[in-house]
Structure 1
Amino acid sequence: MAYRYATERADHSDLASGTVLRSAPGHPGFPVRLADELFQRAAARAAPDGRPVALWDPCCGSGHLATTVGLLHRERLSWVLATDADPAALGIARRNLALLTAGGLAERERGLRADAAAFGRPAMEERAEAAARLAARLRAAGGDLPAAARTGDAFAPQPPERPVDVVLTDIPYGGLTRWRDAPAEGGDPVGALLRALAAVLPPEAVITVTARTRKVALPEGVAALERVRVGNRAAVLVRAADARA
């Protein structure tokens, strides 16, 4: 079976972390073009009939990745879930996921315009215009996208309240972020993460894991659907059924 996806050579600067989407130290953004490509690859495999899919980021941090995909692919999504073990990160994630609604984007635009007027900063006005463009894009793609952010341990996850088709997550790395009490499987927590997520997902769901590494290592016996490498990031797509213990 051929899986088709397309990436636009479009200007995604409105989605850059810190423009409209909120950022914070220790909660880095994610390359928008790579998020676009990986989601399309995973969605094509999880739902080749083109139906809307539900997305889950179980290591969401600031929620930048989940919110970006929601704004890029509203028409392909039915629901977005973001979970993380860090309460501070979830506070930012909730504010970012609110941008998947017309009300949230309107509030963000008003705040940026107010800051531009109060502090005389033209850059704030430019960011307000970006929020307006994202709102127009969301309306054209189908309007508000249901989304939720809650506390969750990626190594002992609760079953999502709705069936999830696609998991897309950027795992902690380096000095910016770190695992919290991660169980290691052969010295690498990726295998434990895949097993834990697969246990609460439908068997046909697709798990996409990215990291700043040359190659995301998989545990013995788990086959990759696809591998992608762009710059200093590598990604692997795995069928949930294939990752179950």
Structure 2
Amino acid sequence: MAYRYATERADHTDLASGHVLRSAPGHPGFPARLASELFQRALAHLDAGPVGLWDPCCGSGHLLAVLGMLHRGRLVHVHASDVDSEAVRIAARNLDLLTAQGMAERERELRAQAVEFGRPSFADRAGAAQRLAARLRAHGGDLPHSACEGDAFAPSPPQRRVDLVLTDVPYGDLAHWAGASPAEDEVPELLRALSAVLAERTVLAVTARTRRIGLPRGTRALERVRVGNRAAVLVRAGDIR
């Protein structure tokens, strides 16, 4: 049976970048509702079981952490990689929040800051950490995760199963391509590079702040989506030429 995706407007304040999840300069957060919708759309093109998820342009790891919180029961593992070593360090700390120990430590940190700085907002964030921890417990507990430095244009074969790649490519003044990226047509080259190390059935979902995302010539999209100023495309690795 196909997986049905939901688009209800739930309150995702607890998942905002810089609230409980740590933010990083130059690595903006990703809208939680859009992340959830794209994830569920991609699941509709995969088998029914839980999936392994990889973000090869992870930045602060916000996208993966959000999906881990919202869809713990649909995931067996999440992996983050980025060419920026500092981004990977922050991503690893955010992914640690997908465990009871990591979230408990974050809650204690926020409560200590509320006392030290006399700011009620930190106590509110600690309460959010409590709620997120309860959500994880209710939907499967600790989520296995990993983070490493890596160039998305020259990727190493994944060490664990990857069924789905979901990434928001760099854009504008907040983030930029680095590593072995080509001078132009970055997304088609990115898709070619990633598909070369993935199983043919793997689904790739890529978003960007643009009107339309280009694909390698001859490649058929599974779906195209537009939300606000973002475009997204879903494609199967075996269809990338």
Indicate which of 187, 190, 198 corresponds to 1:190: 187
Shift of 1:88: 0.8
- Count of aligned residue pairs for this structure pair: 241
SS of the residue corresponding to residue 221 of structure 2 reads coil
- Secondary structure of 2:211's match? coil
* Identity score, percent: 68
Question: Shift of residue 25 of structure 1?
Answer: 1.2
Taking the aligned partners of 1:66 and 1:142, their CA distance within structure 2 comes to 16
Alignment of 1:23-172 (within 5 A): 23-47=23-47, 50-172=48-170
Q: Taking structure 1 as the reference length, what is the TM-score of the superposition?
A: 0.95
CA distance 1:3–1:107, shift in 2 (3 Å): closer
List runs of 5+ in structure 2 lacking aligned partners. Answer: none
- Within the alignment, does 1:240 sit opposite 2:225 as a pair? no
Conservation of the 8 A alpha-carbon contact between 1:43 and 1:165: no
CA change 1:142–1:181 in 2 (3 A) is closer
8 A Cα contact 1:54 1:77, kept in partner: yes
Matched, 1:223 2:220: yes
Distance in 2, Cα, partners of 1:82 & 1:89: 10
TM-score normalised by length of structure 2: 0.97
- Residue identity matched to 1:241: G
CA distance in 1: counterparts of 2:188 and 2:212, whole angstroms: 14
The one-letter code matched in structure 1 to 2:99 is T
Return the alpha-carbon distance in structure 1 between the equivalents of residues 3 and 190 of structure 2: 26
Q: Which 5+ residue runs of structure 1 have no aligned equivalent?
A: none
Quote the offset at 1:9 in angstroms.
2.1
Runs of 4+ in structure 1 off by over 6 angstroms are none
Q: Which of 173, 176, 199 lines up with 1:175 in the alignment? A: 173
CA distance in 1, matches of 2:126, 2:149: 30
Contact residue 151 and residue 180 of structure 2 kept, 8 A: no
Paired AA for residue 23 in structure 1: S
CA separation in 2, counterparts of 1:149 and 1:77?
16
Q: Name whichever of 175-184 and 148-157 sits farther off.
A: 175-184
**CA–CA separation in structure 2 for the residues paired with 1:8 and 1:144:** 26
Q: What is the root-mean-square deviation in Å for CA atoms of aligned residues?
A: 1.3
- The DSSP-based 3-state class of the residue aligned with 1:51 is coil
* CA drift at 1:2: 5.8
Tell me, yes or no, if the aligned pair for 1:163 and 1:202 is still in contact at 8 Å.
no
